[in-house]
C-alpha cells in the first residue's frame, strides 16, 4: 500500500483494519459512494424478498434459513436482516411505522416491509 501521507497511516489504521489506495484525490469518495449504493440496494432487495414471501403466505423463517446457503448470501443478509432486524435490533432510522428520517438509502423500506413494529418482526 502506498500512503500519500505516511504520518496519517497510524490514525487511519485505528479507523479500520484495511487501507486501500483508490487513486487520485476524490477517488476514495467515489469508491465509497459506489460501495454504499450496492450495500443499500442489497438491503432493499432483502426487504422486498422478505415482504414478498410473507405476502404470498410462505414461511419467511424458511426463506431466512435457506438464503445463507445459496447465492443470495451476503453480509447484509447475515448482519442486517438476520443479525439485527429479525432480532428486533432496529436503529433509529429504521422506524417501521413511519418513513425514516435519517437513512436516505432506506426510504422504500416502510412501504415494502409488512411490519409495523419490532414486536411483530417474527410474527
SS (H, E, C) 46-71: HHHHHHHHHHCCCCHHHHHHHHHHCC
Instruction: Give percent above pLDDT 70 in the chain.
Output: 69
Torsion over CA of 48, 54, 56 and 59, rounded to 10 degrees? 120
Q: Which one of 8-12, 41-45, 111-115 scores highest in mean pLDDT?
A: 41-45
The domain segmentation of the chain, as residue ranges, is 42-123
Length of the chain: 123
Are 90 and 84 in contact, with CB atoms under 8 Å apart?
yes
The reported pLDDT for the residue numbered 85 is 87
Q: Read off the pTM.
A: 0.63
Confidence of residue 50 (pLDDT cuts 50, 70, 90): very high
The mean pLDDT of 39-68, rounded to a whole number, is 94
What's the pLDDT tens digit per position in 14-43?
A: 888 888 888 888 999 999 999 999 999 999
Chain-wide mean pLDDT for the chain? 78
Residue 103: all three cell numbers together: 437513512
Amino acid at each position: 500500500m502506498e500512503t500519500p501521507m505516511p504520518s496519517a497511516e497510524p490514525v487511519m489504521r485505528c479507523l479500520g483494519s484495511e487501507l486501500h489506495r483508490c487513486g487520485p484525490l476524490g477517488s476514495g469518495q467515489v469508491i465509497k459512494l459506489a460501495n454504499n449504493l450496492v450495500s443499500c440496494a442489497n438491503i432493499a432487495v432483502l426487504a422486498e424478498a422478505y415482504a414478498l414471501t410473507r405476502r404470498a403466505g410462505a414461511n419467511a423463517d424458511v426463506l431466512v434459513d435457506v438464503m445463507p446457503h445459496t447465492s443470495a448470501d451476503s453480509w447484509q443478509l447475515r448482519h442486517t436482516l438476520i443479525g439485527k432486524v429479525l432480532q428486533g435490533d432496529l436503529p433509529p432510522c429504521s422506524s417501521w411505522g413511519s418513513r425514516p428520517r435519517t437513512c436516505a438509502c432506506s426510504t422504500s423500506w416502510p412501504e415494502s416491509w409488512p411490519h409495523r413494529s419490532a414486536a411483530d418482526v417474527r410474527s
